[in-house]
Amino acid sequence: MIPLLERELIGPGWLSPQEFLDIVAVSEMTPGPIAVNSATFVGHRLYGLLGGALTTLSVITPSIVLVFLLAHFLARYRNHPLVGRAMSGIHVAIVVLITCAGLYILPVVVVDYKRVILAVVAFFLITKTQLNSVLIILLGGVVGMIFAL
């Protein structure tokens, strides 16, 4: 989703690359998908409150319809072996997509040694401790502000 949003938001000149990176960062810290948060931000920036509301509604409506259709389908065919196999494949695809998104944005985010250290420490805290991920995000924000001073 990130490369698609980048192409669609930076290409026409609606956002600068730095603004897009800011949206990605804020979207990762706030509830909701990046597409919804980006649509709300860009719609509000270009057309005010009504623009933010309409772009948000435009982005979430197809997903809501698909979720209801899939929920109906899964409730009906939940015990079918093909559905179980399909879900296993979807799980693998999700891991790959998340990994690709992380690798795609890595060169944009990691531009100096301070950010590399911060990324390594955050990775260690996420994988090797029982700290709440929200706490790690907040700590990263505080350390980032300190680095910026």
Mean pLDDT score, 85-93: 91
pLDDT in tens, 113-144: 888 888 888 889 989 998 888 899 899 889 88
Does some domain include residue 83? no
In this predicted structure, what is the pLDDT of residue 32?
A: 76
- Domain extent, residue 139, equals 110-149
pLDDT band at 84; cut points 50, 70, 90? confident
User: What pLDDT, on a 0 to 100 scale, did the predictor assign at position 128?
Assistant: 93
**Residue whose token pair is 């948060």:** 37
Q: Is residue 9 part of a domain?
A: yes
Whether residue 49 is contained in a domain is answered as: yes
Does some domain include residue 105? no
The pTM assigned to this predicted structure is 0.49
Give me the percent of the chain exceeding a pLDDT of 70. Answer: 99
Domain end point (choices 30, 60, 77):
77
Which pairs with CB-CB distance under 8 Å and at least 24 residues apart come from 141-147?
A: 141/29, 143/118, 144/118, 147/114, 147/115, 147/118
Number of structural domains, the chain? 2
